[in-house]
């Protein structure tokens, strides 16, 4: 089981089973959302995810396809859902309480990465969205 929470602890989550994917996203939306050069995301089946403190969980429609879940109290972003993959929830890895046992395996949207950031690892890079297997 994996667990995580927002900065203030008002919203917590846990998930069962092994995450199905993990990546570093360099798109402009994720850069603004995270306030950093990229956002590390962990994909879990939505059916395996449970929220606590849901009254503090706010959902923001970031785009027509993408919703972001964040804490109303501290503002910390926690998760995203994409209408193209309704059975998956993407958790920001910085909110995890422990080691999920998974590390990001690739970079996506490198075509729009921050110009001041250089990628210095040997992971695969995709300029656009990587199609799911």
pLDDT of 133 above 70: no
E strand or H helix at 33, and its extent? helix 28-34
Q: Mind listing the pLDDT tens digit for each residue in 62-116?
A: 888 889 999 999 999 999 999 988 899 999 999 999 877 789 999 999 999 999 9
Give the model's pLDDT for residue 132. 57
Please give the Cα distance from 58 to 69 (Å, whole number).
6
């Amino acid at each position: 089981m994996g667990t995580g929470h927002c900065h203030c602890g008002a919203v917590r989550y846990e998930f069962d089973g092994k995450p199905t994917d993990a990546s570093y996203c360099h798109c402009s939306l994720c850069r603004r959302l995270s306030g950093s050069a990229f956002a590390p995301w962990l994909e879990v089946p939505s059916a395996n995810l449970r929220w606590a403190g849901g009254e503090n969980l706010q959902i923001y429609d970031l785009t027509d396809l993408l919703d972001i879940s964040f804490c109303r109290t501290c503002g910390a972003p926690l998760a995203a859902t994409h209408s193209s993959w309704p059975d998956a929830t993407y958790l920001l890895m910085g909110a995890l309480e422990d080691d999920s046992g998974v590390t990001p395996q690739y970079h996506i949207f490198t075509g729009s990465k921050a110009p001041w950031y250089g990628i210095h690892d040997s992971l695969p890079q995709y300029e656009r969205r990587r199609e799911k297997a």
